[in-house]
Amino acid sequence: MKIFKTKTELTTYLNTFDSEKSVGFTPTMGALHSGHLQLIESSKRECDISICSIFVNPTQFNNSGDLEKYPNTLKADLRKLKKVNCDIVYTPFIDDLYAKGEKAKEFNFGSLAASMEGEYRPGHFNGMATIVEKFFNIINPTKAFFGQKDLQQLQIVKALVKQMQSDIEIIGIPTIREGSGLAKSSRNSLLSANAKTEALLISKCLNFCTENKNLGISELQKYIKSAFEKSRNLELEYAEFVSLNQMKEIKEWEAENQSAVCIAAYIYGVRLIDNIIL
């Protein structure tokens, strides 16, 4: 496994490979868990060369406290990547990717970025798209792998590739869950065992929607709101029923597997998101 800290060293090394080799890329912010590793394993199966980046991108945090609390486990992350035979890891410092004083680029993703994370985390998607575009231009992957837990992000990255007029294929990998059903997240490391148990309300609400889809969206919204009101320590930020392709609010179900239920909530100051496609 090769580790690079500068884009110059990385691109010089990539240029030594035959141009016919396919390149798989997985961008991460570290604090790797089995969900991330599954992205790498998918890349290993589908591509000749697999690259993982570890970079906590400052421009996608609208809350400086959230940025400061984000877990940093680089040594452990590198050990995990070595175990799954990741070929290349790119771990740049901020000044390798951003000029001094550089801000996030302004993008127009329309309805994809208007609600949910776009509403509650202003500037988040501009920051995310800025860094992903930088990575894509440096690495020029054949395929890039993203988890469906960040569903809105996944749809926006697909739109970004179209705006770039690039032929990079964006692969969405289903959410990996703990045995309890809690969605795997780097932020889970900030939670106690009891908090994780309480946080299961999120996935339980999503499962209820799956099992009771026939009740209709209005009734399911009421159920989720009521369930969270009964919880002592979970604070619901949003529970949105949206079309998968446009991320627009819906009142009635779209065609099979074209609707999504997305939830964001806080527990003891830690923000968790999850979703299900129906």
Confidence check: pLDDT of 63 > 80: no
The arithmetic mean of pLDDT across residues 98-108, rounded, is 95
- Which of 1-15, 61-75, 165-179, 185-199 shows the lowest per-residue confidence on average (mean pLDDT)? 61-75
Q: State residue 272's pLDDT score.
A: 96
Of the listed 36, 121, 124, 134, which one is catalytic?
A: 36
Cα–Cα distance, 177 to 35 (Å, whole number): 8
230 or 62: which leads in pLDDT: 230
What confidence tier does 137 reach under pLDDT thresholds 50, 70, 90? Answer: very high
- Mean pLDDT score, 143-163: 97
Which one, of 50, 221, 76, 260, lies nearest residue 143 by Cα? 50
Average pLDDT, integer, range 94-100: 96
Name residue, tokens 């800290």.
5
Q: Is 181 left (phi over 0), alpha (psi -120 to 50) or beta?
A: left
pLDDT on residue 89: 98
pLDDT of residue 68: 77
Concerning whether 124 is annotated as a catalytic residue, the answer is: no
pLDDT in tens, 170-225: 999 999 999 999 999 989 989 999 999 999 999 999 999 999 999 999 999 999 99
pTM: 0.93
What's the pLDDT at 70?
A: 78
pLDDT band at residue 61 using 50, 70 and 90 as cut-offs: confident
pLDDT at residue number 278: 96
* DSSP codes of every residue in 100-163: TT--PPP---GGGGTSTHHHHSTTHHHHHHHHHHHHHHHH--SEEEEEGGGHHHHHHHHHHHHH
Closest CA relative to residue 278, chosen from 186, 226, 200, 215 = 215
Mean pLDDT over the full length of the chain: 95
Average pLDDT over residues 147-158: 97
**236, 265 in Cβ contact below 8 A?**
yes
What the chain holds in terms of domains, given with CATH numbers, is 2-173 (3.40.50.620), 186-277 (3.30.1300.10)
Is 80 exceeded by the pLDDT of residue 66? Answer: no
Average pLDDT over residues 38-51: 97
Q: How confident is the model at residue 108 (pLDDT cuts 50, 70, 90)?
A: very high
- Can you give the pLDDT at residue 236? 98
